[in-house]
Amino acid sequence: MFLSKEEEKILDGEGGWALERAMRLLTTIGDLNDAERLVPIKRSQIAGVSYKTAGGPTLHLVEELAKENVKVRTKATQNPAGMDLERWREMGIPDEFAEKQLRLCRAYEKLGVRATCTCTPYLSGNKPEFGEMVGFSESSAVAFVNSVIGARTNRHGGLDALSAAMIGKVPLMGYLIDENRIGNVHVKVDFKPNSEADYSALGYYVGREVKIDEVPVYDGIRNASLNEVMLLGAASAASGSVALFHILGLTPEAKNVKDAFGGGEAEYTIEVTRRDIESVYDELSTDEEPDLVAIGCPHSSIQELKRAAELLSGRRVKKGVKFWVFTSPEVFREAKKSGYVNRIKSAGGDVFLNTCMVVAPIEEMGFRCVYTNSAKAAFYVPRITRGKCKSGMVPLRKCIEICTTS
Ligand code: F3S
């Protein structure tokens, strides 16, 4: 990969060990992927923030970087942490976990990575523009900014996103390049989605069917909301590794068939029927009763909070089960102003920030079964808790019926 004189100096250690290692990681990734050169970025989303998933080695590394006075060169935001940074006691987070989590978030802040702690940075002040190249980690955010905004990012891990933020550059490769953004799988949606969970199940099904680096083009989706597209993208990034998808007539690089497939044809077609969607619900189900019903994977949009508040009207959360919504600080502020937060709380539910049902240590908090409207969350909960917590996926309406009485 071509490096400028300045980049070579960094690689030779002239900027210190931290920048040298960051540059080494980026050039290794670039070389392995035949990148021509590095290109500048102005924005980053950094995963590896929850102490549950990042652990001691990440805490040690980020604290060491902070001691070295390293600063990121991009507008950078943190992914969800393992707890609400203020109300963690109310969530039932163990003290020892909280102490380490707070240290990790503070260390990232010292590097200049804002503690927004959300997987929807594009709803919280870190929204790229169409065509802008960025360095995002967090698979759901990657899928969203690539597909729905038409910005350009590869699917970075936490460490390479942090390295890219420190250097202010990413290797020019993958989804940054025009030809890799062309759709190559035609997804015929042969059923009418009836709920947000149906979109999530659709994404989950398609993510499992396509191969790595393929770009599905959904054909047959009309009028999907922001919330529904967020759920779809997060699910296909979880069950497969879809970093970019198009929806014909809806997303910016798929205004028509010619745009979506770059004037060519799909390599193959997947037809998705109601029966396929039902198979996803069957797979992501359990016979157990939930002790936690949680939505907000990805972090709830204002529309999802509004709908939750409306569905809770005249209902009360039952004893022995909790109803929690996870969202970002900015959306929370808006929801509070609109009265949705108070409506959810007065029905016995709660709204937490900075975390979610997957990256919080829910098994240590005593939960044994989570119901959610997100295929991504239903997929990850049993895996990340090593089977200690079961999961089930049902639409939001049903989530609320299950955990409340009228
Ligand atoms: Fe976000 Fe947690 Fe889901 S980080 S996409 S809410 S698993």
- For residue range 16-37, what is the model confidence (pLDDT) as tens digits? 999 999 999 999 999 999 999 9
- The protein residue with its alpha carbon nearest to ligand 1, atom 1, reads 298
What is the mean predicted confidence (pLDDT) over 240-266? 96
Pairing of strands 169-171, 38-40: antiparallel
Interval between CA 256 and ligand 1 midpoint (Å): 31
Provide the pLDDT for residue 267.
Answer: 97
Q: What residue ranges line ligand 1, CB within 6 angstroms?
A: 80, 119, 140, 234, 297-299, 326, 356, 358-359, 376-377, 380
Peptide bond into 329 cis (omega under 30): no
Provide the pLDDT for residue 222.
Answer: 87
What is the best residue among 331, 376, 384, 385 to mutate for testing ligand 1's pocket, by most ligand atoms within 8 Å of CB? 376
Both tokens of 345, joined, read 């709380």
What is the mean predicted confidence (pLDDT) over 55-76? 97
- Atom nearest to 374 CA in ligand 1: 3
Whether 215 shows a pLDDT value over 90: the answer reads: yes
| For the chain, percent of residues with pLDDT exceeding 90 | 100
- Atom nearest to 296 CA in ligand 1: 6
What is the mean predicted confidence (pLDDT) over 200-224? 96
Q: What is the pLDDT of residues 330-344, one digit of tens each?
A: 999 999 999 999 999
What is the mean predicted confidence (pLDDT) over 218-244? 96
What is the best residue among 145, 359, 379, 381 to mutate for testing ligand 1's pocket, by most ligand atoms within 8 Å of CB? 359
Interval between CA 14 and ligand 1 midpoint (Å): 38
- The protein residue with its alpha carbon nearest to ligand 1, atom 6, reads 297
What is the mean predicted confidence (pLDDT) over 279-295? 97
Contacts of 6 (CB under 8 A, 6+ apart): none
What is the mean predicted confidence (pLDDT) over 162-185? 98
Amino acid identity at 139: S
Both tokens of 148, joined, read 């729905």
Which whole-number Å values give the CA distances from 313 to 3, 197, 325, in the listed order?
60, 21, 16
Whole-model pTM: value is: 0.96
pLDDT confidence tier of residue 114, bands split at 50, 70 and 90: very high
- The protein residue with its alpha carbon nearest to ligand 1, atom 3, reads 297
Looking at every residue in the chain, the average pLDDT score rounds to: 97
Provide the pLDDT for residue 282.
Answer: 98
Interval between CA 251 and ligand 1 midpoint (Å): 22
pLDDT confidence tier of residue 261, bands split at 50, 70 and 90: very high
Whether 123 shows a pLDDT value over 90: the answer reads: yes
Q: What is the DSSP letter of 289?
A: P
**Burial of 202 per CB tally in 10 Å (0-12, 13-18, 19+):** buried
- Rounded CA separation 254/147 (Å): 9
Q: End-to-end distance of the chain based on CA atoms, in angstroms?
A: 64
- The protein residue with its alpha carbon nearest to ligand 1, atom 2, reads 356
pLDDT confidence tier of residue 102, bands split at 50, 70 and 90: very high
- The protein residue with its alpha carbon nearest to ligand 1, atom 5, reads 298
Residue 10 sits at φ, ψ, to 5 deg, of: -65, -45
Provide the pLDDT for residue 370.
Answer: 98
**Three-state SS across 337-349?**
HCCHHHHHHHCCC
Whether 150 shows a pLDDT value over 90: the answer reads: yes
Residue 75 sits at φ, ψ, to 5 deg, of: -75, 110
Whether 234 shows a pLDDT value over 90: the answer reads: yes
Q: What is the pLDDT of residues 263-276, one digit of tens each?
A: 999 999 999 999 99
